[in-house]
């Protein structure tokens, strides 16, 4: 009788009756409760998602099967290689994982598959139903991985099993088919990806969900900060006191209702990404991901792979298939920041994706449909770039279906202090400081400065001030040196004031700061007390004693 039929548990399993190590076919093994494995499965799915968990358990089973085949090869005096290769199913049963029933085929049934079997009492389908309920797809992931690993080692080439029926999804029995990798049809490639080292689609789905959750938390945080700072809350954390900014945000909200491509222009630091987020959050795509990429921060050689993805083996280091950011943003919004930095070689490819609404991964011939709303931003004058030949005219017009021009902060003077108060509330919470507001001198100095770095520079200045201030409010001396040194500036449209009027206002402000103490005021102004009394008399102020 063939050794395969003589395999039995009493010969394979050895253990010390007094306790200790257990061996199966000469190798140490562990006894694991299937319910514990079921709880592990549930925890994996809850932590990394169904797709990534399936990939992990499939590859774990593959390693187990490979190791078992490697061990069994030299454990018995097999009469021929075929018996050793066919022993995997019997070992699967003896290990208590599943009860295997070979499938008998007749000539009229067509060509016999490389491997085929029915599985009864699968511990995986049992545990999946117990902890997670009925599934939509087969769930015997580690078991199919074991069969694939065993046969791959025995045959010296990749042999993969796919479960065609599964009790875990409501079928009366589990059934598997095994074939060499090259014999599987393209339609089955989707199932084979779970044997890859990394299952990026699963990880990508988790990243997408994490991004959405982070966006919801940030939205709630902005609402809280708005209440603390006293600045009316805006869905994108924007402040709109000036008429120019009100027009920009009004147009952004109207653009959000359609799927047209939007180009946001403006100097660095004006808040172009926040405008893009506003468009996303007020669109019908708000329940999907907002994915942002800075085109200037990615090297030319990697930008195509970053945006469109790549196939395994497409270039050195491409060890697995990887979807790009267009696929990650499917159903949502893709924000292309600094789009003016996209190299000329990539501009034509980006234009094709925008026109055809499909991407082709690097190293693949297959095109994949994507449903993505594209919002682009740049601090460059793209019209001038087109004239100079550095930017494609057709791509420029494709991106500029709707254009939003965000004005610089120096043209939004009425927005400076509300923005500063909101940024101060953010900084105090982030740094754990108790700072309640701005002193009049600090607020005045913020209005004097030109803010060449726009809102980003204002945020940095406020954070510095919150970190360094010693009291419960930001003083003038807490601001950066360049802000403190800013001279008075004229408000557009305001008539110049006389030196006498400015002197009067300043003297009265210092007097008020000192609580009416004339001696201290004269000392700070570096004038005599008599001179101060004379000026106060000119201003019509009462000459009360100190």
Burial (Cβ within 10 Å: 0-12, 13-18, ≥19) of residue 16:
exposed
Neighbour count for residue 180 (Cβ, 10 Å): 15
Q: Give the C-alpha separation, 24 to 3, whole Å.
A: 16
E strand or H helix at 160: strand 159-165
Q: Give the C-alpha separation, 215 to 255, whole Å.
A: 20
Mean pLDDT of the region 99-104 = 82
Q: Give the C-alpha separation, 123 to 140, whole Å.
A: 8
C-alpha closest to that of 95 among 168, 12, 175: 12
DSSP, residue by residue, 68-111:
HHHHHHTTS--SSHHHHHHHHHHHHHHTTS-EEEEPP--GGG-S
Q: What are 445-479's pLDDT values in tens digits?
A: 998 899 999 999 999 999 999 999 998 889 999 99
Task: Determine contact, residues 201/51, Cβ cutoff 8 Å.
Answer: yes
Max Cα-Cα span within the chain = 125
Is a pLDDT exceeding 70 seen at residue 434? yes
Neighbour count for residue 220 (Cβ, 10 Å): 10
Is a pLDDT exceeding 50 seen at residue 4? no
Confidence of residue 407 (pLDDT cuts 50, 70, 90): very high
C-alpha closest to that of 467 among 403, 424, 511, 413: 424
Show the tokens assigned to 125.
């389908």
Beta bridge partners of 29: 22
CA pseudo-torsion sign 21, 22, 28, 31:
negative
Confidence of residue 229 (pLDDT cuts 50, 70, 90): very low
Choice among 52-66, 162-176, 376-390 with the minimum mean pLDDT: 52-66
Beta bridge partners of 294: 337
Show the tokens assigned to 453.
């770095």
Is a pLDDT exceeding 60 seen at residue 197? no
Helix 413-431 and helix 454-468: axis angle, to 10°? 50
Report the predicted TM-score, pTM, of the whole model to 2 decimal places. 0.53
CA pseudo-torsion sign 463, 249, 221, 374:
negative
Q: What percent of the chain has pLDDT over 70?
A: 80
Apex 268 CA angle, 460 and 373, nearest 5: 115
Question: DSSP code of 410?
Answer: G
Question: DSSP code of 266?
Answer: -
Mean pLDDT of the region 76-83 = 64
Collapse the DSSP code of 358 into the 3-class scheme (helix H, G, I; strand E, B; otherwise coil) and give the result. strand
Dihedral in degrees, nearest 10, Cα atoms 323, 325, 327, 331: 160
Task: Determine contact, residues 376/255, Cβ cutoff 8 Å.
Answer: no
Average pLDDT value over all residues in the chain:
82
Q: Count CA atoms within 13 Å of residue 527 on its CB side.
A: 16
Q: Give the C-alpha separation, 278 to 373, whole Å.
A: 13
Mean pLDDT of the region 47-62 = 83
Burial (Cβ within 10 Å: 0-12, 13-18, ≥19) of residue 526:
exposed
Q: Give the C-alpha separation, 12 to 27, whole Å.
A: 10
Q: What are 480-492's pLDDT values in tens digits?
A: 999 988 876 544 4
Residues 6+ apart with CB under 8 A from 3: 76, 77, 78, 79, 83, 87
pLDDT of residue 492: 46
C-alpha closest to that of 119 among 148, 149, 89, 146: 89
Neighbour count for residue 519 (Cβ, 10 Å): 11
Q: Give the C-alpha separation, 360 to 367, whole Å.
A: 5
Q: What are phi and psi of 23, to 5 degrees?
A: -125, 145
Q: Give the C-alpha separation, 136 to 58, whole Å.
A: 17
Q: Which residue has the higher pLDDT, 386 or 100?
A: 386
Choice among 25-34, 252-261, 304-313, 428-437 with the minimum mean pLDDT: 25-34
Task: Determine contact, residues 120/101, Cβ cutoff 8 Å.
Answer: yes
Show the tokens assigned to 424.
């101060």
Beta bridge partners of 179: 160
Q: Give the C-alpha separation, 235 to 248, whole Å.
A: 14
E strand or H helix at 360: strand 358-360
Task: Determine contact, residues 303/342, Cβ cutoff 8 Å.
Answer: yes
Question: Which is it for strands 174-180 and 115-120: parallel, antiparallel or unpaired?
Answer: antiparallel
Q: What are 341-378's pLDDT values in tens digits?
A: 999 989 999 999 999 999 998 888 888 899 999 999 99
C-alpha closest to that of 453 among 222, 178, 268: 268
Confidence of residue 237 (pLDDT cuts 50, 70, 90): low
Apex 379 CA angle, 372 and 297, nearest 5: 65
């Amino acid at each position: 009788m063939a050794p395969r039929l003589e395999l039995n548990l009493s010969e394979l399993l050895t253990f010390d009756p007094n306790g200790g190590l257990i061996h199966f076919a000469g190798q140490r093994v562990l006894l694991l409760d299937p319910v514990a494995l079921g709880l592990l499965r549930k925890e994996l799915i809850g932590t990394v998602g169904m797709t990534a968990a399936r990939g992990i358990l499939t590859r774990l089973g593959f390693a187990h099967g490979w190791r078992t085949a490697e061990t069994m090869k030299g454990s018995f005096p097999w009469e021929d290689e075929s018996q050793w290769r066919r022993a995997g199913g019997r070992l699967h049963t003896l290990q208590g994982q599943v009860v295997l029933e070979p499938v008998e085929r007749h000539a009229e049934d067509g060509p016999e598959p490389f491997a085929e079997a029915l599985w009864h009492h699968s511990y995986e389908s049992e545990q999946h139903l117990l902890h997670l309920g009925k599934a939509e797809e087969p769930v015997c992931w580690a078991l199919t991985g074991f069969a694939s690993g065993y046969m791959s080692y025995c045959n010296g080439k990749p042999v993969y099993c796919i479960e065609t029926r599964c009790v875990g999804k409501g079928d009366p029995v589990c059934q598997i088919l095994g074939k060499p990798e090259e014999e599987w049809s393209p339609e089955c490639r989707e199932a084979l990806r779970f044997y890859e080292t990394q299952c990026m689609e699963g990880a990508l789905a988790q990243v997408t969900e994490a991004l959405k959750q982070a966006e919801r938390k940030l939205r709630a945080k902005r609402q809280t900060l708005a209440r603390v700072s006293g600045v009316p809350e805006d869905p994108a954390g924007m402040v709109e006191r000036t008429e120019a900014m009100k027009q920009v945000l009004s147009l952004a909200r109207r653009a959000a209702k359609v799927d047209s491509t939007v180009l946001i222009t403006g100097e660095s630091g004006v808040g172009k990404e926040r405008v893009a987020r506003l468009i996303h959050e007020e669109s019908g795509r708000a329940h999907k991901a907002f994915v942002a990429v800075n085109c200037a921060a990615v090297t030319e050689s990697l930008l195509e792979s970053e945006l469109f993805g790549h196939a395994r083996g497409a270039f050195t280091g491409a060890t697995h298939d990887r979807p790009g950011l267009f696929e990650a943003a499917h159903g949502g919004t893709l924000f292309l920041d600094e789009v003016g930095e996209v190299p000329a070689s990539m501009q034509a490819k980006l234009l094709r994706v925008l026109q055809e609404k499909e991407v082709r991964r690097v190293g693949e011939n297959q095109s994949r449909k994507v449903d993505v709303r594209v919002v682009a931003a740049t601090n460059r004058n793209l019209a001038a770039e087109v004239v100079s030949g550095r930017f494609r005219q057709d791509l420029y017009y494709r991106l500029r279906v709707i254009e939003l021009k965000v004005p610089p902060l120096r043209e939004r003077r009425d927005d400076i202090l509300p923005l500063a108060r909101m940024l101060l509330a953010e900084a105090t919470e982030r740094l754990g400081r108790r700072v309640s507001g701005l002193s009049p001198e600090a607020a005045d100095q913020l209005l004097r400065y030109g803010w060449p770095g726009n809102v980003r520079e204002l945020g940095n200045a406020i954070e510095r001030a919150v970190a360094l201030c010693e009291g419960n409010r930001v003083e003038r001396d807490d601001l950066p040196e360049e802000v403190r040194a800013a001279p008075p500036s004229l408000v557009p449209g305001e008539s110049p004031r006389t030196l006498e009027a400015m002197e009067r206002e300043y003297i009265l402000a210092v007097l008020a700061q000192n609580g009416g103490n004339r001696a201290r005021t004269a000392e700070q102004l570096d004038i005599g007390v008599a001179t101060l009394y004379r000026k106060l008399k000119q201003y019509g102020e009462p000459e009360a004693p100190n």
